[in-house]
Amino acid sequence: MDEIIKWFVEYYSLEDYRELPGEIVGALNELNRVERGELKMKLFNEAKLIAGNGDDAVKPIRWLENSFELIEKNTFRLHEVLISPGKQIPDTLHVLLDNAKHSIDICVFTISDQSLSKRLLDAYRRGVAVRIISDDQKVNDRGSQVYNLKNAGVKVKVDHSRYHMHHKFGVVDNRISFTGSYNWTYTATKHNQENLIITTNYDIVRQFGEEFEKLWNEMFWL
């Protein structure tokens, strides 16, 4: 956030409405709703300091309006409903997993799709914190990729119950969440009528993150 504030304060002319450089756009896209609110408050305080220095009072107001507009324009938002059969769901999941920078938390009933499993493993190998929760019975299915991921070093937990851990959701970088009927299987992609909802809505992402942490604390190491 300090990098963003520095750019707006030191390099953004009060008269010049320009595009943000790529590195600032990238930094903005890392912020969640609460952090964006904090950024705007800090810029508001900077505007008060500028006004207090005796400049034309209109200029800091114009600067602040332009700054807020640029922040909103360059804020990453995603809300989408995806449907299978077809490649729409796995292709979108591939992009989300390939672009994860910090963390991937997956809570999925069954994982047998090798292309999705490979994306998880690739993310883990490039330093992303990957955690998986799955059903204790489905990990033993023919074609399940869960043991392969676990043996490669990915953290995996399962339930110990005669009932199922039947969730199908995930959280990427604590800023994108997805959920729906879609299991990570070839059948779900090629044949089943399935759905997946993806969102960056802060409250929804937070609630799924809290549920994952709750389950992670309750579940057992594979």
The Cα–Cα gap between 173 and 192 comes to 29
Looking at the structure, tell me whether residues 89 and 197 fall in a common domain: yes
Q: How many domains does the chain have?
A: 2
Q: Per residue in 130-145, pLDDT tens?
A: 999 999 999 999 999 9
Looking at the structure, tell me whether residues 58 and 6 fall in a common domain: yes
State which of 26, 48, 73 marks the end of a domain.
Answer: 73
Domain interval for residue 138: 79-221
* Residue 117 scores a pLDDT above 70: yes
Three-state DSSP class for residue 190: helix
Task: Catalytic residue, from 150, 157, 167, 168: name it.
Answer: 168
Task: Catalytic residue, from 73, 166, 190, 191: name it.
Answer: 166
The Cα–Cα gap between 90 and 113 comes to 9
* Residue 15 scores a pLDDT above 70: no
State which of 13, 38, 73 marks the end of a domain.
Answer: 73
Looking at the structure, tell me whether residues 90 and 164 fall in a common domain: yes
Looking at the structure, tell me whether residues 147 and 95 fall in a common domain: yes
Can you give the CATH number for the domain in which 140 is found? 3.30.870.10
Q: Per residue in 33-62, pLDDT tens?
A: 899 999 999 999 988 888 777 667 788 888
* pLDDT at res. 66: 87
Our answer to whether residue 155 is catalytic in this structure is no
* Residue 70 scores a pLDDT above 70: yes
Looking at the structure, tell me whether residues 189 and 102 fall in a common domain: yes
The helix-helix angle for 58-73 and 33-52 (nearest 10°) equals: 160
* Residue 13 scores a pLDDT above 70: no
Ranking 71-80, 103-112, 119-128 by mean pLDDT, the lowest is 71-80
